[in-house]
Structure 1
Amino acid sequence: EELEKLNLEVASEFILVAATLMRIKAKLLLPREKLDELGNEVDPREELVRHLLEYKKYKSVIAELATLEEQRALKEKRGNILREIKKLSESTDVESELQDVDLYKLLKVYQRVLVKFEEEKKKPIHTIVPYPYTIADKKKEILSKLVDKERISFEEMITDGVKEKILVIFNFLAILELLQMQLIGITLGEGYNNFWIQKLDSKEEKEFP
């Protein structure tokens, strides 16, 4: 988690200075044998100061060059504007690309994509299937059956010749609508286990929609 928050450039500078300090400390603990051209003993701390001054000098020069480059790009009225030049340089700078890559974040995104993919696979798929019949058709069919028979059992009415469960539902809804329209009536059968459906005489002449 801490690596994710680190700036790699700052971290590299810190490691360089820390390593130099550790080397200086080690040299101070050991007998000093390194001499300069005049035969004088070399203080390793002077070497650290020299490295830091050189680093500061190069970093300052690089910053000045970057500023000059930006100013120059703004003055040139060419198609390659500053943003395009920067993008082109970034695309060809392999070292810069490698520094910008965060493997940890990349793996987190990859894991999130996999989880989302699995969740999408588990979602139920709802398919709308058009049925070749309607409640209006079933109402006409029920009334037609009651013309040939005086009465028909409720069970026979909704299940006769039915091969699909959905058709039983359609027949039941059609019976309810006919009852509401007072075109049919229901009487209790023997044993209280069934009902009889019959056409109402007073409604026979009623116009059917």
Structure 2
Amino acid sequence: MEKYQFKLEGFEGPLDLLLHLIEKNKIDIYDIPIAELTEQYLAYLDKFREFNIEIASSFLVMAATLLQIKSRMMLPKPPKEDEAEEEDPRRELVERLLEYRKFKQISAVLGEMHAVQEQFVTRDPLPLPVHHLPPGNLSLRKLVEAFHTVLQVKKELHIPEALVQPEHWSIKGQMTHLLDALRAHAGKMEFAAAFAAGSRDELIMTFLALLELLKRQQVRAVQAHVFAPIMLALRPDAPPMMLEAEEAESTGSSK
């Protein structure tokens, strides 16, 4: 029997495909026209006639989810005076798309940093004391794990925040915020303190800003030993950086 395969070149999953359609058609992610998006999604899947059920299952589950949301959107709404306002059926999908977009941005920054690192020739590591890490040489994986821990703690504490809000933060804006915070603490502060307050979206944007500052050699991440807290410190040899000019240029070009 012929083996069927489901090929969606360039897409890592159904959320990736949905995000592509939203960006391609300039759809407001906070107010998705679900009927239109569902038709586009199904039309895209219909182009691929060969199926491998293991690969296709997640895409088909998302198709079913979109159809379910579409049907709920078509139901008549109860009178406002009789019941509290019903939850928007699109809410969970919007939250998943926003979270996926944030971590896709993180992945892109990590990829850029990895590409820069590959341009350097490294020597064999020198012998190091057991249970110690060289200061200022934390791996990207270690930083991502530390950030994931911060998000988990925030989730477990059930810190309230708005469910879905338009973004008010930029990477360059959060870079300025981090640099100001470090200067206010004599040039050094704990990693966790940099993420002590703010919504999940703001914390993700702050982490992206930290990665950019590390890439630009403005700050360094230091850990005295394996179980010590990660510290962020300003680099005394940091090259000059004009964030305000970059922010103004970025704002002007987006208008």
TM-score by length of 1: 0.38
Q: Which has the higher helix share?
A: 1
Structure of larger gyration radius: 1
Give TM-score scaled by structure 2 length: 0.31
Larger RCO, structures 1/2 (Cα 8 Å, 6+ apart): 2
